[in-house]
Amino acid sequence: MRAPAMLLLSGLALAASACTTVEPTPAPLPVTGGSSGAPQPVAGYDWFFHADEENARLAYGLAESDDLKLGMECARSTGRLLLNAMAEKGAKAEIHVESGGETERFPAEAEPSQLNEGVFLSAEASAAEPVFQRFRRVGWLAQWRDGQREAYAPHPESADGIERFFAFCG
């Protein structure tokens, strides 16, 4: 009697599994425009936003240090930016940035850095430049420094500072 009972249980198990509903695996979502290519935040580095009544600053660097990769300043509603960056001594006097496929080079003034052997670059730009408008939309900006591309992505808690900066600048 044991064998028929086992056979019956096996048959019931097979029948039950045949009737079981299996959820279909959803098709992958279509990729539009290829990979996002969005860089990931880097531990310790972030975008820092600060504003007072008349001026705002957005800077990418290491918190509470002199380690600045790229800084932007503006006066309220002017639409004009002052860009600041560090470069190696002898580097071309320009600030070269890109974001989401847009790129721009801004001629800069170079002066010896007070912090290291390099130079401090300053350039002026319009906040309406396509590269900055793309930065507002995608949330990251890359800079070409000394022949190397460095991508600067915010951490989630600081991402809103980018839009706040550009809204302030006008």
What pLDDT does 101 receive?
A: 94
Alpha helix stretches (DSSP H) within the chain: 2-19, 130-138, 160-169
User: Is the pLDDT confidence value at 2 over 90?
Assistant: no
What is the arithmetic mean of pLDDT over 145-151?
90
- Tokens, residue 20: 């079981």
Are the CB atoms for 97 and 104 separated by under 8 Å? yes
Global confidence as pTM: 0.77
* 45-169 CATH: 2.60.40
pLDDT, tens digit, for every residue of 30-64? 333 334 568 999 999 999 999 999 999 999 999 88
8, 59, 82, 103, 154 from 48: Cα distances, Å: 70, 5, 16, 22, 9
